[in-house]
């Protein structure tokens, strides 16, 4: 009788990546779908025009401005929704936020004092936020 092969186990890195992907997609769907619904409601009430167009980016801009500091972006990056690359920026922000409080990107210079290198074996090689994020450290004009 042949011995059965052991079941393939998913490595922690692959599992973490899969969970991170699911969280990212959930954030994207949770922002894009309401913006499309809002556009349809405004378009049905007021017709096509600039109001309907701006309503499409209102929800994503608000979500980007809210989540940006948690992903080492600035709140003003939400204005990129008005010129085009907003969906890309929000996807990067969603990908980063999906791993919080651990970070796999280098912190900005003004964030370094609140971060330390993680010593947890599961999250080795990542930065850990030690203090809650406040608005003052993320709205610098530099």
**Measured distance CA(23)–CA(49) in Å, rounded:** 34
* Separation between Cα atoms, residue 108 and residue 142, nearest integer Å: 11
Q: What's the pLDDT at 110?
A: 66
20, 33 contact by CB (below 8 A): no
Q: What is the pLDDT of residue 31?
A: 92
pLDDT digit string (tens) for the chain, length 142 residues: 555 555 444 455 677 788 889 989 999 999 999 999 999 999 999 888 888 888 888 999 999 999 988 888 888 889 999 888 988 999 999 988 887 766 666 666 666 666 655 665 555 556 566 654 555 444 444 4
Tell me what pLDDT residue 63 has: 93
The whole model's pTM is what?
A: 0.67
Q: What is the DSSP string of 94-118?
A: HHHHTTTTEESSPPPGGGGGGEEE-
Helix, coil or strand: residue 116: strand
């Amino acid at each position: 009788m042949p011995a059965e092969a052991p079941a393939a186990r998913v490595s922690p890195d692959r599992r973490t990546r899969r969970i991170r992907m699911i969280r990212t997609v959930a954030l994207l769907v949770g922002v894009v779908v309401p913006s499309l619904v809002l556009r349809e409601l405004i378009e049905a009430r007021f017709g096509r025009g600039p109001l309907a167009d701006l309503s499409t980016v209102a929800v994503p801009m608000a979500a980007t401005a809210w989540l940006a500091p948690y992903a080492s972006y600035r709140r003003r990056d939400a204005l990129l929704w008005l010129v085009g690359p907003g969906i890309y920026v929000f996807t990067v922000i969603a990908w980063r936020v999906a791993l919080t409080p651990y970070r796999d990107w280098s912190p900005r210079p003004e964030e370094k004092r609140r971060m330390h290198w993680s010593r947890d074996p599961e999250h080795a090689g990542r930065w850990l936020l030690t203090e809650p994020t406040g608005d003052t450290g993320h709205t610098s004009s530099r």
